[in-house]
Amino acid sequence: MPQQPHQHELLSSSPDLSHTALQSSCEECFGLCCAALPFAASSDFAIHKNAGQPCPNLRSDFRCGIHTELRSKGFRGCTVYECFGAGPKVSHVTFGGQDWRQAPHTASQMFEVFPVMRHLHELLRYLTEALSLQSAATIHSQLRSLLEETERLTLLPPEALLQVDVPAHRGEINELLLRTSELAREAARRQLKNAPKRPKNYGRGADLIGAKLKKADLRCVSLRGAYLIAADLSGADLREADLIGADFRDTNLCGADLTDTLFLTQSQLNAAKGDASTKLPAALTYPAHWTGL
Ligand code: SF4
């Protein structure tokens, strides 16, 4: 939601949004996450709102009226949301730059398309990272083919986008991402000094809520989809660990080493706690609420 530092490196000033821009860029979006998505009053959201109902804090220019106070006003959930560039794509490509306030008859379809596009852009984000890994070179052609197919889907008109079988497409891509992870972690294990001989595979969705993993050697492990809510990973070594979809809400990452982790996103970091001594992958930035920055 419109709180992220605006990241223009993937969007030019006259954006070619028909191609891949894979990070939130709120100034290029018609506030879609703030209107299309539902949220329930909780520790993450101060209010309840239904899908398709614009948040009362969304201004007429599609910017957030409490952008600098989201956490103090109880909208922490907005600070951890990432659309992977789906909002700008829907706004300027799928709907050609015509917003839902100017053209209210498009609103419901635009709001339905947004979550579909978000899924596709998230997949593009992971495929792009997989293609950057030399250790996965043997499957680059398959990865590239799925990247091109996913990009093609993102350019479909709204009616066709709503017919995309996202779970099936995601399943196909996930197989390749799993293989990418295995190849990358195996190659890293051979290179890292004293790396664990058999890095633990915690299994998808492992329950590590509140786990005490301070200073743990987690190099090259798989933490795919693990629930690490409020876990203590302070000082842990997570280099080359697969962190795709891991739930980092309130996870203590102070002093942890996350360089060269696989499939870590900015929204995961934004949900966690950390400090200036946490080491990050080069493509990610320190969340504003972390300490000692
Ligand atoms: S408070 Fe409302 S307008 Fe602001 S980022 Fe959250 S959902 Fe969007």
Q: Which atom of ligand 1 is nearest to the CA of 1?
A: 5
Q: What is the pLDDT along the chain (293 residues), one digit of tens a residue?
A: 654 433 333 333 334 444 448 888 888 999 999 999 999 999 999 999 999 999 999 999 999 999 999 999 999 999 999 999 999 999 999 999 999 999 999 999 999 999 999 999 999 999 999 999 999 999 999 999 999 999 999 999 999 999 999 999 999 999 999 999 999 999 999 998 887 777 777 878 899 999 999 999 999 999 999 999 999 999 999 999 999 999 999 999 999 999 999 999 999 999 999 999 999 999 899 999 998 77
- Please tell me if the CB atom of residue 55 comes closer than 6 angstroms to any atom of ligand 1: yes
pTM of the model: 0.90
Q: What is the C-alpha separation between 58 and 37, in angstroms, rounded? A: 13
Q: What is the C-alpha separation between 269 and 284, in angstroms, rounded? A: 8
CA atoms within 13 A on the CB side of 281: 18
Residue nearest to atom 8 of ligand 1 (CA): 34
Alpha carbon of 144 to ligand 1 centroid (Å) = 35
Given a contact cutoff of 8 angstroms between Cβ atoms, the answer to whether 82 and 22 are in contact is: no
Burial 244-263 (b: 16+ CB within 10 A, else e): bbbbbbbbbbbbbbbebbbb
- Please tell me if the CB atom of residue 35 comes closer than 6 angstroms to any atom of ligand 1: no
